[in-house]
Amino acid sequence: MKFLITAGPTREPIDPVRYISNRSSGKMGYAIAQAALDAGHEVVLISGPVTLPAPPRAQMIRVTTADEMYDAVHANIAGIDIAVLCAAVADFKPAAFASRKIKKREGIPVIELVPTRDILASLGALKAKNFLLAGFAAETDDLEKNAREKLEKKQCDVVIANDVSAPGLGFESDENVITIFLPDQSSQVLPRATKRGLANDLVKILCALQ
C-alpha cells in the first residue's frame, strides 16, 4: 500500500520574525509513517516544521505554511491508497504579510486573520476518491460528538480522536489514547500506549479497512 501522511504544525508568517502556529510535535504522524514503512508500505510524509529526524525510506516533503501543505498533498495524492491527515494545520493565517519587521514603536498591531483551506475536507470532497481517508480530531471535550461531526462534515472514512486535555497524553507526550470512529457508527478504543505502539495497530486497522 502507499500512504500519504501529513504531520507537525504549519506556520503562518506575520512578518519576517513572527508567525502563528499550533502546538504539535509531529510525533504521532512520524510514528505512523515509521510503522507503515516497517510493515513494508511506501510512505509520502508531508511535514511542517518539527525537530524529528526523517524516517529512513520515507519520501519526505517539507513545508511551512498551510497553503504549501495543501499544494503538496494535492500534488502527491494520485496513486495513494491511504491518506492519514495528522498535521495540526493552522485554521487561520494573517490576511497580509508585512515584508519588514513590525516595530514596537508603531504600537500594538491589529492583525487581520483569514481562514486557511481545509486540506482534509478538500480530499473528502474529491469526486474520484479511491483512497481511504483518515482525519484526526484533537478534542478537549465532547470527544465522540465532535469526532462524529468531523467524520461527516469532512467526508472521511475514519476519524482518529484523542483527548488533548488528559494529563501526560497527546501533544508533546510519547503516549496517547485514541478512539477510532467509523461511518457505520462503530468505534474502537486503543488504550494508553506509546505513540509507536498505537501507530502499529493503526496501520493494521487502516490497511484492513482499505
Residues that bind ligand CTP (CB under 6 A): 6, 66, 85, 87, 89, 91, 116, 118-120, 135-138, 150
Report, in Å, the least distance between residue 128 CB and ligand CTP. 19
Residue nearest to ligand CTP according to CB distances in the complex: 119
Find the catalytic residue in 22, 76, 130, 162: 22
What 8-state DSSP symbol labels residue 29? H
22 is catalytic: yes
Report, in Å, the least distance between residue 105 CB and ligand CTP. 35
Nearer to ligand CTP, 91 or 175 (CB): 91
Q: Do residues 163 and 177 lie in contact, with contact meaning Cβ atoms separated by under 8 Å?
A: yes
- Please report how the helices 27-38 and 195-209 are oriented relative to each other, as an axis angle in degrees rounded to 10: 60
Identify the burial level of 125 via C-beta atoms within 10 angstroms of its C-beta, where 0-12 means exposed, 13-18 middle and 19 or more buried.
Answer: exposed
Distance between CA 201 and CA 205 in Å, rounded? 6
Nearer to ligand CTP, 6 or 34 (CB): 6
Report, in Å, the least distance between residue 150 CB and ligand CTP. 6
Nearer to ligand CTP, 82 or 119 (CB): 119
Nearer to ligand CTP, 81 or 91 (CB): 91
Nearer to ligand CTP, 35 or 89 (CB): 89
Q: Do residues 123 and 133 lie in contact, with contact meaning Cβ atoms separated by under 8 Å?
A: yes
Distance between CA 63 and CA 16 in Å, rounded? 17
Q: What is the torsional sign of CA 166, 177, 142, 83?
A: positive
Report, in Å, the least distance between residue 29 CB and ligand CTP. 9
Distance between CA 195 and CA 29 in Å, rounded? 9
Distance between CA 65 and CA 60 in Å, rounded? 16
Cell of 159: 476519524
Which helix (DSSP H) or strand (DSSP E) does residue 32 occupy? helix 27-38
Q: Which residues are catalytic, by number?
A: 22
